[in-house]
Amino acid sequence: MSTIPVPTALDQEIYRTRLAPWLPPRIIDIHTHVWQAKTDAPKQNRSRLVAWPALVASENPIEDLRETYRRLFPDKAVVPLMFGHLNNRAADFDGGNGYIADLVRRHGFFGLMYARPDWSAEELRAQLQRGPFSGVKVYLSLADAALKVNDITIFDFLPPHQLALLDELGMIVMLHIPRDGRLRDPVNIAQMLEIERRFPNVRLIIAHVGRAYCEEDMGDALAVLGRETQRMLFDFSANTNAVVFAELIRRIGPRRILFGSDLPIVRMRCRRICENGKYINLVPKGLYGDVSVDSHLREVDGPAASGITYFLYEELLAFRAAAEATGLSSQDVADVFCHNADRLLQSITPLGR
């Protein structure tokens, strides 16, 4: 448990005065990584991944997740939708997905299976039947290694033959979109719209508000997606941009927004800023070792460091600011943090039960 920060007086004050009274008593965390270090990929095989999350936790077994919820949401009942940390083909997919399936059975939580894009539809079905799983998590780094990072498209790691099966089954797809353009990228927008049109029974969740961590990442994407989609969902995990959140609320509406944490990385002590369209995570000096491994990290000290709380609390404070700016009601907030996800999860019949 040593990597789980103990709440400071500042953390407790923020939670007690600004978060606890505003949040509903029951929360569903739609985006949570749970894994054991033995199933992770070797570090040398992570060239398509940013480096900083690995500085927060080398694993997040269920015991750590539950302890994190206990410390950071002491008066709330939090239910996770869990998936592993299998962002490289060298990872142990059988072990990582099997661990999630076992936790779903033992704890009554919900789980997604990490899917490899090289699986046929028949193999994907067989893997889902090892569940119970409510759908799949897919990731850009699982695309063919011959592709350059900025040439990867959604269909390179979420192929149409798998989407057709997931459409048949009416299951969740948790999608972390690729490409440097992030949410505003025209290829991403076109393919998200194609999924909405061709696979109407897929429960598509765009993670992290499409990685729109800075205002420059949005373009007119939310306006287009809000106008041309009716089913697509968005989580705002590991995002702290209140301006992006307000645009999401206005364009998409509170019934299609889901709270997700992206634990364990959001137990990091971090304040995120944007500079010239690039996000920078400000962290207390010396807390996370060598920050030169990732250009998204910058150390601060003195008063700037002592005022830093959990990344998760920064995410929640930003969403509260956006909710107040857009006039969300307490019922809207309860929808975002619980009821939308509850309706979604209860509508799915997992394979493998």
Q: What is the mean pLDDT of residues 78-89?
A: 95
What is the Cα–Cα distance from 27 to 24, expressed in whole angstroms? 7
Q: Residue 202: how many CB atoms within 10 A of its CB?
A: 27
On the question of pLDDT at 130 being above 70, the answer is: yes
Q: What is the mean pLDDT of residues 201-222?
A: 98
Note the pLDDT of residue 111: 98
On the question of pLDDT at 259 being above 80, the answer is: yes
In the chain, the percentage of residues whose pLDDT exceeds 70 is 97
Q: Residue 247: name the closest of 209, 190, 195 by CA.
A: 209
Q: What is the mean pLDDT of residues 282-303?
A: 95
Strand segments (E) across the chain: 26-33, 77-83, 110-111, 113-114, 135-138, 172-175, 203-206, 233-235, 257-258, 271-275, 278-284, 297-300
Indicate the pairing of strand 278-284 with strand 77-83.
unpaired
Contact by Cβ (8 Å): 65, 32: yes
- pLDDT tens-place string over residues 218-237: 999 999 999 999 999 999 99
Reported confidence tier of residue 120, pLDDT bands at 50, 70, 90: very high
Q: What is the mean pLDDT of residues 127-153?
A: 95
Q: What is the mean pLDDT of residues 154-168?
A: 98
Please provide the DSSP assignment of 60-81 as one string.
Answer: B-HHHHHHHHHHHSTTSEEEEE
Please provide the average confidence, as pLDDT, over all residues in the chain.
95
> Taking the model in full, what pTM does it have?
0.96
CA distances from 12 to 68, 155, 336 (A): 14, 44, 23
| Helical residues (DSSP H) of the chain, grouped into ranges | 9-14, 62-72, 93-107, 121-128, 154-157, 160-169, 186-198, 208-211, 221-228, 242-252, 303-306, 311-326, 330-334, 340-346
For residue 302, give the amino acid letter: G
CA distances from 325 to 14, 27, 57, 238 (A): 19, 22, 34, 20
Reported confidence tier of residue 302, pLDDT bands at 50, 70, 90: very high
For 231, which DSSP code? S
Q: What is the mean pLDDT of residues 243-261?
A: 98
Beta bridge partners of 5: none
- pLDDT tens-place string over residues 21-55: 999 999 999 999 999 989 876 665 555 678 899 99
Maximal C-alpha separation, the chain: 57
What is the Cα–Cα distance from 40 to 37, expressed in whole angstroms? 5
Q: With respect to CATH, is domain 25-266+311-346 assigned 3.40.50.1000? A: no
Lowest mean per-residue pLDDT among 3-7, 123-127, 167-171 = 3-7
Cis peptide before 264 (omega within 30 of 0): yes
What is the Cα–Cα distance from 136 to 86, expressed in whole angstroms? 12
Reported confidence tier of residue 2, pLDDT bands at 50, 70, 90: very low
Note the pLDDT of residue 351: 82
Note the pLDDT of residue 43: 65
